[in-house]
Structure 1
Amino acid sequence: MARFQRPRTVAEGVYQHLRRRLLAGELEPGRWLREQELAASLDVSRTPVREAVRQLAQEGLLVIEANRGVRVRGLTLEEAVATYEVRERLESMAAGLAARRVDAAARAALDEQLAAMNAVDPADQAEHVRADDAFHGLVARLSGNPVLQELVERLSERVMRVKVLTRDVNVSAFAREQHARIVAAIGAGDEAAAEAAMREHIRTNLRIVEERLAGAGPGAGGEEA
């Protein structure tokens, strides 16, 4: 029997559209959003826009200020640290499970993804973010744990927001070496080494994020707590 799918409302469509743009960094922190302009650009009434804005404010992506309007919320250091702390636990577990269950097909997929990452132009930040996200998503899939994979995928939107707003794109030789260590440990079936390699990689990225947020003002990705 075919599964029933409830039709998506206009408000839900507006919400998903704005949420994607916010997480991708297309609507920069501090920017003021006008309901009337958003409604006109999306060819909808102001009511679904208002509903979507309210929901996004509840998620912490927008800030509704009385008598002023709606602005895009920046990123706090606390939010970034909390996101990467959870990321470290989930993805190190995924790497360990991937090593435990590795086979020839998994090794080939990892080698292919690693080569694709290394082939990206260092100046292409957007492509680096996508390639890095694909690599970490692959490790989660290779864990063989569907619940863990779902959690990693759901967290990836928050991770993407941190990356975009802080330009956490490490294309150094050391970053490539860290990715290679993760692939080598998983390929060798060394669960402990895979977990450790992924943990160190994410901690390195968090240090980069902390440094960049520490020097950013509210309009540059930082947000006053």
Structure 2
Amino acid sequence: MGRRKLQRFQENEQNRNVIQSGKELFEQIKGQWNKVQFEQDNDLVVELACGRGEFTVGLAREYPEQNFIGVDIKGSRIWKGSTIALSEGLKNVAFLRTQIELLDRFFEVGEIDELWITFPDPFPRDGDEKRRLTSPRFLDLYQPLMKAGGIIHFKTDNSGLYAYTLELLNERPNCELLAYTDDFYASTWREDHHGIQTRYEKMFSEKGEKIKYLKFRFC
């Protein structure tokens, strides 16, 4: 392991806004995010596969009256968002280091108000369908954790994953599709995101890829 990555891991252990294995809160945080971590009773917004946390931190800047949690398994990526949030004094940001399939170990039923799935791995092979973050397996994981009427946002550059997700949501009677577009930056919803982009979104946009977006909720 490189010295730089090792240093980041050590800083994650000290940073209060990083919840990970080995810390006391890691086993106690379920159902306690607002009370214990944020110490303020605000809507809880979660970003899955947050990477370096650009989007999580960006939303936290725009909405100080909400609490934001970025979830990712890569500690060196989480370090970036964590460090920026601390340097800016953003107390409404935290990062959870875990695998997304274990999400229900860290959130109570109905605890999440809003969920973002931003540029996940498309896993294009048919045999990998269950690994897609919008597959039936994961939708069934998210549903009980969402507050009634809670919104789920999904953004991708991948046409196949977008088409797969759109078709799946239209077929599921427990999902209500609220908006969708295969060209987000030409849509009426672009202003709602305040120009906040993830690293991957910037990279794909610069290459001329159209960004796809949809939002839905569980009935």
TM bucket (normalised to shorter chain) is under 0.3
Q: Which has the higher contact order (CA 8 A, sep 6+)?
A: 1
TM-score scaled by structure 1? 0.25
TM-score scaled by structure 2? 0.26
